[in-house]
């Protein structure tokens, strides 16, 4: 969440910053009003608490002096003050809860460097690599769902039979390819990132820490009996691994990576781009994440982007890097770059990685702090993450791009060690 002190120190600047994310000034002012009311109630409660304590002392002194009438009068006054204090504390608690909810719903401030804009139409293409629309033959203009069916490596009908629509079923070399892509991404980042295999079910507080709750509860799968949530990305458990701890500055940047299945209801999709693997409820992904100081954040952001970009480049896919404008940034994001691959069969640019800096927004929710080497007060970490590789759309673009005139799929050389020696996919039979 944002630092509540921003609402006190410069409310107008905070409203202006959040307006770039299309946040109503009324929402910001409501949070500021609740903060002011909470502080007012806290001050009144402190005064009453001191008054009750003083009266209690005076009652004791009066009784010891044998002044029973005075002691009784003071005791009655103390009871009235105590009852008033209880009412104040109850109101303060309610206002505190309202303030926390308001702060949890306010998005992060966009970075000054994030381009202005109101929607994805205003996102900025930073660079395009390997894209030549004239290089694709008719055999590559076949959508992956048709290729998958022809080669019997993708069975959407049986996936739907088992779990419902948008739950794909990979089979034979299609399943091997999905796993190979994940292993490639893990291997390419193992030089600097510690591998973790986190739980895929987490507590509500863990989803709250990364910004999915409370605002985006409808997009997540909730197991009500246990009050656990299926993770939408490994970012969620990785961020909370050190929640509530104080790290030493020497530990930063702390770099972690994880393979995990991911689950998303895609409640806001409304039937958009739901064919094949373009939008699915369950998929495999490798995530890379870092905790760092504010001074390290810019270089770490570029490092994660470079690593995600390098895997796509090694696969030989045409791609572009897009910087997200302020109005299209997510709830927790301060600055973000997407990597999109070109899918010749669908003739679309498909987002396959989002590489994001969250400043200290998530760290405040998760209480991720570090102790500076030079001493002084502990500080909140900055958090960053990116998809090293998300399977479905990369799988789709790959089988379309590498489809041969005879209908087979020639695999890029880097996947050879993970495909049991098969240089191509000819049939999943």
- Same domain for 188 and 134: yes
Chain segment 375-403, per-residue pLDDT in tens: 999 999 999 999 999 999 999 999 999 99
What secondary structure, in 3-state letters, does the chain show? CCCCHHHHHCHHHHHHHHHCCCCCHHHHHHHHHHHHHHHHHHHHHHHHHHHHHHHHHHHHHHHHCCCHHHHHHHHHHHHHHHHHHHHHHHHHHHHHHHHHHHHHHCCCCCCCCCCCCCCHHHCEEEEEECCCHHHCCHHHCCCHHHHHHHHCCECHHHHHHHHCCCCCCECCHHHHHHHHHHHHHHHHHCCCCEEECCCCEEEHHHHHHHCCCCCCHHHCEEECCCCEEECCCCHHHHHHCCCCCEEEHHHCCEEEEEEEEEECCCCCCCCCCCCCCCCCCEEEEEEEEEEECCCCHHHHHHHHHHHHHHHHHHCCCCEEEEECCHHHCCCCCCEEEEEEEEECCCCEEEEEEEEEECCCHHHHHHCCEEECCCCCCCEECEEEEEEEEEHHHHHHHHHHHCECCCCCEECCHHHHHHCCCCCEECCCC
Q: How far apart are CA 5 and CA 364, in angstroms?
A: 13
- Same domain for 157 and 96: no
- Tell me the mean pLDDT in the region 130-136: 97
Can you read off the two tokens belonging to residue 401? 């791009």
**In whole angstroms, what separates CA 289 from the centre of its chain?**
11
Q: How far apart are CA 33 and CA 277, in angstroms?
A: 46
Contact call for residues 381 and 362 (beta carbons, < 8 A): no
- Same domain for 148 and 42: no
The pLDDT value given to residue 273: 73
Contact call for residues 262 and 283 (beta carbons, < 8 A): yes
Split into its structural domains, the chain has a count of 2
Residue 114 lies inside a defined structural domain of this protein:
no
Residue 63 lies inside a defined structural domain of this protein:
yes
At which of 71, 105, 139 does a domain end?
A: 105
Chain segment 22-71, per-residue pLDDT in tens: 999 999 999 999 999 999 999 999 999 999 999 999 999 999 999 999 99
% residues pLDDT > 90 (the chain): 97
Strands 369-371 and 246-248: parallel
Residue 115 lies inside a defined structural domain of this protein:
no
Contact call for residues 368 and 291 (beta carbons, < 8 A): yes
- Same domain for 96 and 237: no
- Residue 104's pLDDT band, with cuts at 50, 70 and 90, is very high
pLDDT top residue among 215 and 278? 278
- Same domain for 190 and 89: no
- Same domain for 96 and 129: no
- Same domain for 301 and 416: yes
At which of 78, 105, 132 does a domain end?
A: 105
CATH number for 297: 3.30.930.10
CATH number for 18: 1.10.287.40
Q: Residue 179's closest CA among 258, 285, 264? A: 285
Residue 113 lies inside a defined structural domain of this protein:
no
Residue keyed to tokens 């033959």: 137
Residue 236 lies inside a defined structural domain of this protein:
yes
The pLDDT value given to residue 323: 98
Residue 324 lies inside a defined structural domain of this protein:
yes
Residue 14 lies inside a defined structural domain of this protein:
yes
The pLDDT value given to residue 235: 98
The pLDDT value given to residue 270: 57
Q: What are phi and psi of 146, to 5 degrees?
A: -75, -40
Can you read off the two tokens belonging to residue 170? 């990979």
- Same domain for 127 and 37: no
- Same domain for 202 and 68: no
Contact call for residues 198 and 237 (beta carbons, < 8 A): yes
Evaluate if residue 190 carries a pLDDT over 80: yes
Contact call for residues 173 and 381 (beta carbons, < 8 A): no
% residues pLDDT > 70 (the chain): 98
Contact call for residues 305 and 274 (beta carbons, < 8 A): no
- Same domain for 98 and 151: no
- Tell me the mean pLDDT in the region 185-211: 97
Chain segment 261-306, per-residue pLDDT in tens: 999 998 655 566 779 999 999 999 999 999 999 999 999 999 999 9
Contact call for residues 211 and 362 (beta carbons, < 8 A): yes
Q: 226, exposed or middle or buried, with CB in 10 Å at 0-12, 13-18, 19+? A: exposed
- Same domain for 362 and 332: yes
Q: What are phi and psi of 341, to 5 degrees?
A: -100, 150
Residue 415 domain boundaries: 120-425
Residue 110 lies inside a defined structural domain of this protein:
no
At which of 72, 105, 138 does a domain end?
A: 105
- Same domain for 127 and 16: no
ω into 214 cis (within 30 of 0): yes
């Amino acid at each position: 969440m944002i630092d509540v002190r921003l609402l006190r120190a410069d409310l107008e600047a905070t409203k202006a910053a959040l307006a770039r994310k299309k946040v109503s000034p009324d929402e910001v002012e409501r949070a500021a009003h609740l903060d002011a009311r909470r502080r007012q109630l806290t001050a009144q409660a402190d005064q009453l608490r001191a008054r009750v304590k003083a009266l209690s002392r005076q009652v004791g002194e009066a009784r010891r002096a044998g002044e029973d009438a005075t002691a009784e009068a003071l005791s009655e006054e103390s009871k009235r003050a105590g009852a008033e204090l209880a009412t104040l504390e109850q109101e303060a608690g309610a206002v505190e809860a309202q303030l926390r909810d308001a702060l949890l719903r306010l998005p992060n401030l966009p970075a000054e460097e994030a381009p202005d804009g109101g929607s994805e139409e205003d996102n900025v293409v930073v660079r395009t690599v390997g894209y030549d629309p004239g290089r694709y033959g008719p055999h590559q203009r076949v959508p992956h769902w048709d290729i998958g069916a022809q080669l019997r490596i993708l069975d959407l009908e049986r996936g739907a039979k088992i779990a419902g629509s948008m739950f794909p079923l990979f089979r034979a070399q299609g399943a091997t390819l999905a796993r190979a892509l994940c292993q490639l991404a893990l291997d390419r980042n193992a030089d600097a990132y510690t591998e973790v295999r986190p739980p895929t079910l987490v507590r509500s507080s863990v989803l709250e820490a990364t910004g999915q709750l409370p605002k985006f509860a409808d997009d997540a799968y909730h197991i009500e009996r246990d009050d656990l949530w299926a993770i939408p990305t490994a970012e969620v458990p990785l961020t909370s691994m050190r929640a509530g701890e104080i790290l030493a500055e020497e530990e930063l940047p702390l770099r972690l990576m994880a393979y995990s299945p991911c689950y998303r209801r895609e409640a806001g999709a409304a039937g958009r781009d739901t064919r094949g693997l373009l939008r699915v409820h369950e998929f495999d992904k490798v995530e890379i994440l870092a905790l760092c100081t504010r001074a390290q954040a810019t270089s770490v952001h570029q490092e994660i982007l470079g690593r995600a970009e390098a895997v796509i480049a090694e696969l030989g896919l045409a791609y572009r890097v897009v910087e997200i404008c302020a109005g299209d940034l997510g709830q927790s994001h301060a600055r973000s770059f997407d990597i999109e691959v070109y899918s010749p069969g669908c003739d679309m640019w498909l987002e396959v990685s989002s590489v994001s800096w969250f400043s200290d927004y998530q760290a405040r929710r998760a209480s991720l702090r570090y102790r500076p080497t030079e001493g002084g007060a502990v500080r909140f970490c900055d958090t960053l993450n990116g998809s090293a590789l998300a399977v479905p759309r990369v799988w789709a673009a790959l089988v379309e791009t590498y489809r041969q005139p005879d209908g087979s799929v020639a695999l890029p050389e880097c996947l050879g060690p993970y495909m049991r020696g098969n240089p191509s996919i000819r049939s999943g039979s």
